Amino acid sequence: MLAIGQERKGNEVLIERHGLTVPMPDDSALKASFANQVEIVPTIILANPQGEELRKFEGFGRQDWQDLYRELSRISRISPPREWASYPESQPGCGSKPVQPESPSVCRRRPKTPTARTPHRDWRGR
């Protein structure tokens, strides 16, 4: 499992603030974001070792997170949180950089032929 961030500095803040131990690759180039059509952050993608998507959801929904933790517990035997009351019942995320109003830096990173999700082998677009 990875937590992909769209800004290196923002990633560093999240890691420090929340004591994250999950790998957090820098997607400043937005390659993974475009490949996975990430329109809302957070977008959570659980993939198998071959990079195939098993589960995907957007925003902050308690049931989504509970389902994810159940799946992770089944796969890895981690213990889910015992307290869910602090998780929002439902809260939307924010617009991802690929869907923010056009800027030269995003335009340079956008695939030359934006189409429906381009078939690829893994979450990195490879």
pLDDT at 65: 87
Spell out the per-residue pLDDT of the chain, length 126, in tens: 777 788 888 888 888 887 778 788 888 888 888 888 888 888 888 888 888 888 888 888 899 989 988 988 888 888 888 888 887 888 878 888 877 766 555 545 555 544 444 444 455 555
What's the first-to-final CA gap in the chain, in angstroms? 17
Q: Is position 86 within any domain? A: yes
Give the pLDDT confidence of 28-42 residue by residue, as tens digits.
Answer: 888 888 888 888 888
Per the structure, the complete domain to which residue 40 belongs is given by: 8-97
Interatomic CA distance for residues 59 and 65, integer angstroms:
10
| Residue 99, both tokens | 């869907």
Number of structural domains found in the chain: 1
Q: Is position 125 within any domain? A: no
Q: Identify the three-state secondary structure at position 67.
A: helix
Task: Answer whether 44's CB lies under 8 Å from 68's CB.
Answer: yes
Give this prediction's pTM: 0.67
